[in-house]
Amino acid sequence: MALSRMIASLLLLALPGTAMSGAGAPADRPGSNPIIRDKFTADPAPLVVGDRLYLYVGHDEAQRDEMFNMKEWLVYSTTDMKTWTPHGPIMNVRDFKWAKQDAWASQTIYKNGKYWFYAAVEHDKTHPGKAIAVAVSDTPTGPFVDAKGSALITNEMTPKGTHSWEDIDPTVLTDDDGTTWIAWGNRQCYIAKLKPNMIEIDGPITEITPPHFEEGPWLHKRGNLYYLTYASLDRTTQRDEHISYATAPSLKGPWTYRGLLTGSGKYSFTIHPGIAEFKGKSYLFLHNATLAIGDQSGAIGRRAVTVERLYYNADGTMKPVVQTQAGVTAPGR
Ligand code: FUB
């Protein structure tokens, strides 16, 4: 390379913001991380419907050093994992008349011709603490309406819990026999069966807390193995949440701890897994806090959703995942 061109290239790399954002560089490629750039988003929850993948997220609107400010859930979709179509807000937390605030982690599942949306919210003063809401829609993009008119799970239903925000972050899975299960929690992790009507718990709530469980459980099944992937925090060695997982031969356990799946999300205390199989490939959705919009930088309450390919070993264990900027645009992904 000629000296003048080399000097020009070095000068370009030295300019703030240019190193990774030149035309064709990873930051500009459709599908590179973070995948949503015009809004701060968190707690990704994918749902595959035919040849389209829908991604439900919480909308982070924290100002300055506010911790969280989340009023609504948004949905995006893709057919190629590279270009994302926004479908707008699907619900505001105040659409649940009994809820006060906090549009926290959610998951949508399809069953019996309807889309069922489960989400963590703060209950009003009639049931202090966090609660789990359920809404329903005829389409994956809404409109969703409160399906029950009251909380599906309240803090009083898990009396052994150590704090009032333990009932958050629902994840739902329909088993091979057609029964749908819900798992959730913070510090304690619980699982219960749902009645066929999808808006009532059927039978006991069982605690299944795996090692270093913090929050954000995600249930999925592959082959004969069930996976419980979650945000973990080893309080003796880690400052920020990582992702760990456990596996079991059935939703009733026993669960075997499999260790770490990923490290922490860059600049973010929280991290949250969402797993989907789409067009023959497996994906792990996460969030970090690397996005800046205007003069607002990433922060604990201004996160950004990412996606990486997920690979399995022959014994069903998942290969460790590293959060990258190139994400699914990296060669061979
Ligand atoms: O986004 C609010 C809360 O932070 C979620 O419910 C947790 O999973 C963590 O990401």
Substitution site in 164, 165, 270 for ligand 1 pocket (most atoms within 8 Å of beta carbon): 270
83, 106 contact by CB (below 8 A): no
- Band of residue 192 on the pLDDT scale cut at 50, 70, 90: very high
Q: Could you tell me the distance, in angstroms and rounded to a whole number, from the CA of residue 15 to the centre of ligand 1? A: 35
Q: Stretch 90-101: mean pLDDT, rounded? A: 98
Per-residue pLDDT at 313: 98
Instruction: Give kind and range of the element (H or E) at residue 205.
Output: strand 201-207
Q: Domains, the chain, ranges and CATH?
A: 6-329 (2.115.10.20)
pLDDT in tens, 9-64: 333 333 333 333 334 456 678 899 999 999 999 999 999 999 999 999 999 999 99
Q: Is 244 in the pocket of ligand 1 (CB under 6 A)?
A: no
Q: For tokens 């497996």, what's the residue?
A: 282
Per-residue pLDDT at 17: 32
- The residue ranking higher by pLDDT, 218 or 6, is 218
* Structure token digits, residue 146: 């409160």
154, 164 contact by CB (below 8 A): no
Of 261, 201, 202, 196, nearest to 228 by C-alpha is 261
Dihedral-angle region of residue 11 (phi above 0 means left; psi in -120 to 50 means alpha; beta otherwise):
alpha
The CA distance from 87 to 49, in Å, is 15
Substitution site in 57, 68, 215, 229 for ligand 1 pocket (most atoms within 8 Å of beta carbon): 215
Q: Stretch 58-87: mean pLDDT, rounded? A: 97
pLDDT in tens, 123-153: 999 999 999 999 999 999 999 999 999 999 9
Per-residue pLDDT at 29: 86
Q: Stretch 290-311: mean pLDDT, rounded? A: 97
- Band of residue 157 on the pLDDT scale cut at 50, 70, 90: very high
Q: Whose alpha carbon is nearest atom 9 of ligand 1?
A: 270
Global pTM value: 0.92
Q: Is 216 in the pocket of ligand 1 (CB under 6 A)?
A: yes
